[in-house]
C-alpha cells in the first residue's frame, strides 16, 4: 500500500481526533467571552474576564507561580537528569534496559501512593524527622519538611524526573562519542566539552524533556494540594473551583485559555528551537 | 433511541445494583435516580421494590456540582430523581430544571422536623422543589489526647498553641461561614455580608491560614492526617471521629457554641418527569421519607432522616449518634445557604489561599 | 631523539589482547603508516597515542616525556577521525577554530588562522557552511584543517580516506603527502590499504594480531619481506613452503615441493629452518623450458592485464600476462622465474627486531 493511500485512509480518523480534541477547547474559548449571572450564562461577548485576570493580583500571582514552579522543576530535573541519562546511554552497558525499566517504576505506582509515601518520609512523625531527632540534629521535628513548597517541589521533581531523563537519554543515544573525543582532542576539558558540544547537541532532548516536565508540573494540582499545605493552591485548582463551586465557567475558561495560550507560546518556541538544532543535528 | 433511553442503557451496564434483567426493566415503570452511593444501598431499597412495579437504575455522583452539571447537560427529562444539597436547590430552580413536590403524593412529608418545614431553602414562591431528605452536622473533630480542652471556632483564629497542627476544609462556603460565626455576624446577615464584613472575614481568614498545617480536600485524607498526628484539630465531617475511635485513638467531637454547621440534602424531581413515571417517583420519595428507610439509614449510615417517621424505633445510643436524641440541638444549627454573592466568596477564598 | 617512542606497548579489552607489546619510533617530519587488516591493533595504538584509550601496559613517550597519563586535551597531538567527527552545530569556520580557544588565541586571530587553514586545504569558500552541507571529501578536508590549525607535534589520521571513492582517494593521497611535506609535521596514518601506504609513507609499520610483523621503508617492505605474512599481504606473493638446504653466495638454497632454488633472502636463516619462497605474480612467467609444471585453475581479467591462477604440486601460484597470451583453463604449462629477483622469507611470524 502506498503512503498516499495510507494518508487518505488515515485522514478521517485524524479529522475525528482533531475534532474531538479541538471542539471542547473552542467551546471554552467562546465561553471565556461570556458572563455568568448566578447559574445562567449570559451570551454577551466582552473581554471582561480577561480584564479581570489582568487586574487580579491573585490570578496573576497564581499563573506566575504555576509557570515558576514548572521552570524550576524543569531546571532541577535537567541538572539531575544529565548525569543519569549520560550514564544510562553511555556507561550502563547490559544494565541499560533494566535501568530504564527501574526509572519508569515510580510512574506505575499512581499519584496518591507516591504522595502518601512522601508524607511518610517528610511528615512531622516521618522517617526523616524521627531520624534527625534520634541523631540529635534537632530537638523538635522540622515542620517545614512537609506541607510546604519544599515538599511540593521535591515530589514534583521525583514525579517528572523520568520524562526529563528519557528525553535526554534519547538525545545521548544519538550523540556520537567521536564528537566528544574530537573536542578533547582539540583541547577542551570536561566542562568546556559539556558546554560547547554536549549541551548544544543534546538540546533537542533537553527542550523536549523540559517542555514535558514543564507542562506536567503546571497541570499538576494534586501534588501541591496534598503536600503543599496551606499554600498549596494552584491556578488549576482555582480553575476547578470556578468551574465547580462557583459556576463561573466564563472566568474559568478565560484563565484556562490564558494558560493555554502561554503554554502554546512555549511549545512554539520549543518547536522552533528543536527544528533549528535538528537542522544541524546528526552527521 | 432518545437521549434518555441511551443514558439509561449505558448506565445499566455500569451502575452497581441494577435491579432485574434488562427486559423487565423496560417493561415496568423504570426510574433513574442520581444520588450518593451510600444512600442507595440495595438493602435500603429492597422493601420498596418488592412492593411495587418499579425497576430502579442508580447513577452515582461524586460531588454536588457534578450532579448539577450532568443534569444541565442532559436536560430535565434525562433523570427521574436527583439528590441536591439544600443550599444548591436554587441552582436547579434558577435553571428551570425542577418541578414542585406534590405533597398529596408524599404523606410522610408531614413528619418533617420543624426546622425543615420552616426553612426557606429549597423553595420558590412558597412551592417546595427540593424536599429535605437527610441531614447531619459538620463539627470540629480533634485528638483529645493532644488537646487540653474542647475547642470551638476560636481555635482557628486565636492563640498559637496549635499553630501548624490545624486543618480546614478547602471549601469557600463553609470556610467563610466559620469566620463569620467567629466574628459574631448574625445568622440572618451571614449570607448577605457587605464589603466591610467580607473584608473583616478576609482579615481573620489570613490569620487562620498562618495557623493551618493544610487545607483538606477529602475526608479520607483528613482521617489520615489525624491518625499520623500531623493534624490535631480540624473543621471536619463526623466519620473520622468514629473511624479513629474504633482504631483506639482518643478522639473528641466539638459542637462550637458560636454555631454548628448543619448540612442537609434534598430529593428533587426534574421537570420532565411525567405520567406513570411521575407517580412512581413520588411513591419512591414517600418511601425515602418513611420509617422503613429511615431506620435502615440510621443504623447503616449512620445518618438522620429529615422526618421523625423512624425516630421512635431507634435506640437512644443511635439517636445520640445521629443528633436526634435532643432535638433542641437543631436550634443552634446554621444551615448552609447559597450566598447571592457566591462568586465573590470564592474569589475571596482563593485570594486568602494564594496570599 | 625520536618524536614519539612506544615501548612494550599493550592494550587489553577484558580478556582480548588487542596490542601485544609493540615497539616503534616516529621521527620528526616523517609520514608513517600503520598498515594491517582490521582487528590487527593499529587503531588501538592510534587511540592510545591520541589519549582516547588508556595504555594497559608499556610506555609512550613524546619528545622524551612520558605521555601515558596526559589527558587527551593536554596532548600536543591532533586527530583526523575516520568519521571526521565534525561538530554538526557549528559552521565550517567554527569547527576549524574550535581548538584554538584553548591555545590562548584571541577571537579575531582565531578567525584569521581558521580561514588560513581552510585555504590550505582549498576549503576557503565553504567557511560558512554547515558540515552536513558538504560532501564526504569536503568534510575530510575540513577535518584536516581543524587538526593542523593547532600545529600539533603529531597528526594522527584514522583511516581518513576509507569513506571516499577510489578517484577521490587517489587525489587526497597526493594532497596529504604534499601537505605533510609543506608543514614539516609528523603524520601517523592508519590504513588497511597497502597501496595507500606505499603512496604516502616514508615508513610503513605492518601489523598483524596485535604485533608488528615488519617496519621499514616501503621499498624494503616490498622487496625484502621478512615473513611469509608480509610477502603475501604486501605483494600478493605466493609463498611456497620449504626448508633451507644451505647458505649460498647471494642468499640460500631452499628445498620446496616445486624443486630446489637458490635465491636471496632475509638474514639469519639457518640450514634446516622452515622458510618460504615468495613468488609474486609479476615475477613468474610462462616458459616452456621452465622448471615448474603447473595447471591453470582460473583466469581473471584485470584491465591492464590478465591474472592467471595455477596449481603446481599442491601449491597455488599466480602470474600476470599480456592480452595476447591467455591460456585456457585446465591447460598444462611450464613456468619459470629469475631466481635473483625472488626472495626467501621466514615462515613463522613474530615481531621483527627494530
- pLDDT tens digits for B67-90? 988 888 887 778 999 999 998 898
Answer yes or no: do A280 and C81 touch at CB < 8 A: no
Average pLDDT in chain B: 87
Domain with A127, as residue range(s), is 52-280
Chain C residues whose CB is inside 8 A of the A278 CB are none
pLDDT at residue B25 is higher than 50: no
C50-75 pLDDT, tens digit per residue, is 999 999 999 999 999 999 999 999 99
Q: How far is A78 from chain C (nearest CA, A)?
A: 21
The beta-carbon neighbor of A245 closest among B65, B230, B351 is B65
Q: What is the DSSP string of B62-108?
A: SSHHHHHHHHHHH-TTS-SBB--BGGGHHHHHHTT-EE---GGG-GG
Chain C residues whose CB is inside 8 A of the A204 CB are none
Q: How far is A280 from chain C (nearest CA, A)?
A: 5
- Top-confidence residue, A36 or C21: C21
pLDDT at residue C110 is higher than 70: yes
- Top-confidence residue, B7 or C178: C178
Q: How far is B208 from chain A (nearest CA, A)?
A: 10
**Residue A43 domain-assigned?**
no
**Residue A32 domain-assigned?**
no
pTM of the model: 0.82
Q: Is C20 helix (H, G, I), strand (E, B) or coil?
A: strand
Answer yes or no: do A185 and C71 touch at CB < 8 A: no
**Residue A146 domain-assigned?**
yes
Chain C residues whose CB is inside 8 A of the A206 CB are none
Q: Where are the extended beta strands (E) located within B209-352?
A: 212-216, 233-235, 251-254, 260-270, 304-305, 333-335
Give the count of beta carbons closer than 10 Å to the beta carbon of residue C25.
17
Residues of chain C with CATH 3.40.50.300: 4-222
The beta-carbon neighbor of A38 closest among B94, B173, B217 is B94
pLDDT at residue C96 is higher than 90: yes
Instruction: Identify the pLDDT of residue B353.
Output: 93
Average pLDDT in chain C: 90
Query: Do B and A touch, counting CB pairs below 8 Å (3 needed)?
Result: yes
Which residues, in sequence order, are CB contacts of A57 under 8 Å at separation 6+? none
Answer yes or no: do A185 and C72 touch at CB < 8 A: yes
Q: Cα–chain-centroid distance for residue B316?
A: 24
Superfamily of domain C4-222: P-loop containing nucleotide triphosphate hydrolases (3.40.50.300)
Residue of A56, A127, A246, A248 for testing the chain B interface, max B β-carbons within 10 Å: A246
- Please state the rounded mean pLDDT for residues C272-290: 90
**Residue A86 domain-assigned?**
yes
Distance CA B318, CA B304 (A): 10
**Residue A45 domain-assigned?**
no
Distance CA B225, CA B143 (A): 11
The beta-carbon neighbor of A226 closest among B209, B221, B351 is B221
Instruction: Identify the pLDDT of residue C354.
Output: 34
Answer yes or no: do A200 and C83 touch at CB < 8 A: no
Distance CA B258, CA C8 (A): 94
- CATH number of the structural domain spanning residue A73: 1.10.3720.10
Bond preceding residue B302 cis, omega within 30 of 0: yes
Per the structure, the count of domains in chain A is 1
Q: What domains lie within chain B, and their CATH numbers? A: 3-135+264-324 (3.40.190.10), 140-254+335-354 (3.40.190.10)
- Please state the rounded mean pLDDT for residues C128-150: 93
Give the count of beta carbons closer than 10 Å to the beta carbon of residue A118.
22
Residues 152-181 of A with CB under 8 A from C: 176, 178-179, 181
Contact B343, B92 (CB under 8 A): no
**Residue A107 domain-assigned?**
yes
The segments of chain A whose pLDDT lies below 50 read 1, 280-283
pLDDT at residue B24 is higher than 90: no
Chain C residues whose CB is inside 8 A of the A274 CB are none
The beta-carbon neighbor of B214 closest among A232, A242, A243 is A232
C195-249 pLDDT, tens digit per residue, is 899 999 999 999 999 999 999 999 999 989 999 999 888 878 889 999 999 888 7
CB burial string A31-55: b at 16+ within 10 A, e below: bbbbbbeebeeeeeeeebbbebbee
Phi-psi domain of A106 (left: phi exceeds 0; alpha: psi -120 through 50; beta: other): alpha
Distance CA C121, CA C145 (A): 7
Instruction: Identify the pLDDT of residue C168.
Output: 87
ipTM comes to 0.84
- What is the share, in percent, of chain C residues with pLDDT greater than 90? 66
pLDDT at residue B22 is higher than 50: no
Phi-psi domain of C295 (left: phi exceeds 0; alpha: psi -120 through 50; beta: other): beta
Residue of B nearest to A126 (CA): B228
Query: Do C and B touch, counting CB pairs below 8 Å (3 needed)?
Result: no
In degrees, to the nearest 5, what angle opens at C-alpha C44 toward C-alphas C41 and C50? 150
**Residue A24 domain-assigned?**
no
Amino acid at each position: 500500500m502506498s503512503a498516499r493511500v495510507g494518508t487518505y485512509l488515515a485522514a478521517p480518523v485524524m479529522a475525528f481526533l482533531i475534532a474531538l480534541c479541538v471542539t471542547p477547547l473552542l467551546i471554552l474559548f467562546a465561553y471565556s467571552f461570556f458572563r455568568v449571572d448566578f447559574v445562567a450564562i449570559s451570551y454577551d461577548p466582552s473581554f471582561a474576564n480577561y480584564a479581570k485576570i489582568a487586574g487580579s493580583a491573585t490570578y496573576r500571582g497564581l499563573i506566575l507561580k504555576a509557570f515558576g514552579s514548572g521552570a524550576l522543576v524543569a531546571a532541577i530535573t535537567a541538572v539531575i537528569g544529565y548525569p543519569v541519562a549520560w550514564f544510562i546511554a553511555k556507561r550502563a552497558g547490559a544494565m541499560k534496559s533494566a535501568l530504564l525499566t527501574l526509572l519508569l517504576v515510580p510512574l506505575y505506582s499512581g499519584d496518591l501512593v507516591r504522595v502518601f509515601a512522601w508524607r511518610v518520609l517528610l511528615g512531622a512523625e516521618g522517617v526523616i524527622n524521627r531520624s534527625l531527632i534520634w541523631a540529635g540534629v534537632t530537638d523538635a521535628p522540622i515542620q517545614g519538611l512537609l506541607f510546604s513548597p519544599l515538599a511540593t517541589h521535591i515530589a514534583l521533581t521525583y514525579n517528572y524526573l523520568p520524562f526529563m531523563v528519557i528525553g535526554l537519554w534519547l538525545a545521548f543515544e544519538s550523540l556520537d562519542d567521536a564528537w566528544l573525543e574530537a573536542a578533547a582532542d582539540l583541547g577542551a576539558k570536561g566542562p568546556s566539552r559539556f558546554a560547547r558540544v554536549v549541551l548544544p547537541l543534546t538540546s533537542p532532548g533537553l527542550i523536549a524533556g523540559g517542555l514535558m516536565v514543564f507542562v506536567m508540573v503546571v497541570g499538576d494540582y494534586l501534588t501541591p494540594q496534598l503536600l503543599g499545605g496551606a499554600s498549596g493552591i494552584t491556578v488549576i485548582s482555582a480553575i476547578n473551583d470556578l468551574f465547580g463551586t462557583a459556576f463561573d465557567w466564563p472566568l474559568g475558561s478565560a484563565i484556562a485559555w490564558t494558560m493555554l495560550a502561554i503554554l502554546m507560546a512555549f511549545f512554539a518556541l520549543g518547536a522552533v528551537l528543536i527544528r533549528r538544532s535538528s537542522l544541524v543535528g546528526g552527521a | 433511541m432518545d437521549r434518555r433511553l441511551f443514558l439509561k442503557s449505558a448506565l445499566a451496564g455500569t451502575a452497581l445494583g441494577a435491579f432485574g434483567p434488562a427486559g423487565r426493566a423496560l417493561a415496568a415503570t423504570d426510574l433513574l435516580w442520581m444520588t450518593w452511593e451510600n444512600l442507595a444501598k440495595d438493602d435500603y431499597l429492597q422493601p420498596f421494590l418488592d412492593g411495587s412495579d418499579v425497576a430502579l437504575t442508580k447513577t452515582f455522583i461524586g460531588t454536588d456540582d457534578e450532579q448539577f452539571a450532568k443534569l444541565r447537560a442532559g436536560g430535565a427529562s434525562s433523570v427521574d430523581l436527583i439528590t441536591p444539597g439544600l443550599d444548591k436547590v436554587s441552582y436547579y430552580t434558577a435553571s428551570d430544571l425542577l418541578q414542585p413536590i406534590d405533597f398529596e403524593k408524599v404523606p410522610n412529608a408531614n413528619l418533617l422536623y420543624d426546622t425543615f418545614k420552616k426553612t426557606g431553602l429549597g423553595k420558590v414562591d412558597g412551592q417546595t422543589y427540593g424536599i429535605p431528605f437527610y441531614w447531619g452536622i459538620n463539627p470540629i473533630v480533634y485528638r483529645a489526647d493532644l488537646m487540653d480542652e474542647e475547642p470551638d471556632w476560636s481555635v482557628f483564629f486565636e492563640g498559637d498553641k496549635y499553630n501548624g497542627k490545624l486543618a480546614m476544609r478547602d471549601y469557600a462556603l463553609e470556610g467563610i461561614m466559620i469566620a463569620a460565626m467567629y466574628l459574631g455576624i448574625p445568622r440572618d446577615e451571614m449570607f448577605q455580608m457587605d464589603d466591610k464584613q467580607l473584608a473583616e472575614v478576609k482579615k481573620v481568614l489570613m490569620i487562620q491560614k498562618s495557623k493551618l498545617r493544610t487545607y483538606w480536600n477529602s475526608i479520607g485524607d483528613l482521617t489520615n492526617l489525624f491518625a499520623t498526628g500531623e493534624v490535631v484539630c480540624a473543621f471536619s465531617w463526623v466519620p473520622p471521629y468514629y473511624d479513629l475511635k474504633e482504631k483506639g485513638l482518643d478522639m473528641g467531637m466539638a459542637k462550637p457554641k458560636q454555631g454548628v454547621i448543619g448540612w442537609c440534602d434534598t430529593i428533587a424531581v426534574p421537570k420532565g418527569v411525567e405520567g406513570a413515571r411521575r407517580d412512581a417517583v413520588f411513591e419512591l420519595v414517600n418511601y425515602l421519607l418513611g420509617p422503613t428507610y429511615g431506620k435502615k439509614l440510621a443504623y447503616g449510615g449512620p445518618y438522620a432522616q429529615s422526618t421523625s417517621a423512624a425516630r421512635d424505633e431507634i435506640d437512644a445510643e443511635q439517636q445520640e449518634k445521629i443528633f436526634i436524641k435532643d432535638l433542641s440541638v437543631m436550634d443552634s444549627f446554621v444551615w448552609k445557604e447559597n450566598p447571592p454573592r457566591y462568586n465573590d466568596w470564592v474569589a475571596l477564598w482563593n485570594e486568602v489561599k494564594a496570599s | 631523539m625520536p618524536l614519539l617512542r612506544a615501548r612494550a606497548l599493550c592494550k587489553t579489552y577484558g580478556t582480548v589482547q588487542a596490542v601485544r607489546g609493540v615497539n616503534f619510533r616516529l621521527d620528526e617530519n616523517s609520514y608513517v603508516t600503520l598498515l594491517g587488516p582490521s582487528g590487527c591493533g593499529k587503531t588501538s595504538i592510534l587511540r592510545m597515542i591520541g589519549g582516547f584509550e588508556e595504555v594497559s601496559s608499556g610506555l609512550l613517550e613524546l619528545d622524551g616525556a612520558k605521555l601515558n597519563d596526559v589527558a587527551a586535551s593536554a596532548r600536543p597531538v591532533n586527530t583526523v577521525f575516520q568519521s571526521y567527527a565534525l561538530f554538526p552545530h557549528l559552521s565550517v569556520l567554527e569547527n576549524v577554530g574550535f581548538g584554538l580557544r584553548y591555545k590562548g588565541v584571541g577571537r579575531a586571530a582565531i578567525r584569521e588562522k581558521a580561514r588560513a587553514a581552510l585555504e590550505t586545504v582549498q576549503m576557503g569558500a565553504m567557511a560558512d557552511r554547515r558540515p552536513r552541507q558538504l560532501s564526504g571529501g569536503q568534510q575530510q578536508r575540513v577535518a584536516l584543517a581543524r587538526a593542523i590549525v593547532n600545529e600539533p607535534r603529531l597528526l594522527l589520521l584514522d583511516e581518513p580516506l576509507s569513506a571516499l571513492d577510489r578517484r577521490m582517494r587517489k587525489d587526497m593521497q597526493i594532497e596529504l603527502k604534499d601537505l605533510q611535506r609543506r608543514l614539516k609535521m609528523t603524520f601517523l596514518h592508519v590504513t588497511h590499504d597497502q597501496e595507500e601506504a606505499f603512496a604516502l609513507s616514508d615508513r610503513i609499520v605492518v601489523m598483524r594480531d596485535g604485533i608488528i610483523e615488519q617496519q621499514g621503508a616501503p621499498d624494503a617492505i616490498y622487496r625484502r619481506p621478512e615473513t611469509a605474512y608480509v610477502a603475501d599481504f604486501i605483494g600478493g606473493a605466493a609463498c611456497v613452503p620449504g626448508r633451507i638446504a644451505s647458505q649460498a653466495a647471494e642468499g640460500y638454497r631452499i628445498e620446496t615441493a616445486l624443486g630446489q632454488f637458490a635465491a636471496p633472502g632475509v638474514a639469519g636463516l639457518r640450514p634446516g629452518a622452515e622458510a618460504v619462497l615468495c613468488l609474486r605474480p609479476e615475477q613468474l612467467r610462462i616458459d616452456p623450458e621452465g622448471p615448474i609444471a603447473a595447471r591453470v585453475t582460473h583466469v581473471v581479467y584485470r584491465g591492464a592485464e590478465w591474472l592467471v591462477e595455477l596449481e603446481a604440486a599442491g601449491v597455488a601460484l599466480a602470474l600476470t600476462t599480456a592480452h595476447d597470451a591467455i591460456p585456457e583453463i585446465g591447460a598444462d604449462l611450464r613456468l619459470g622465474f629469475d631466481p635473483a629477483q625472488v626472495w626467501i622469507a621466514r615462515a613463522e611470524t613474530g615481531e621483527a627486531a627494530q
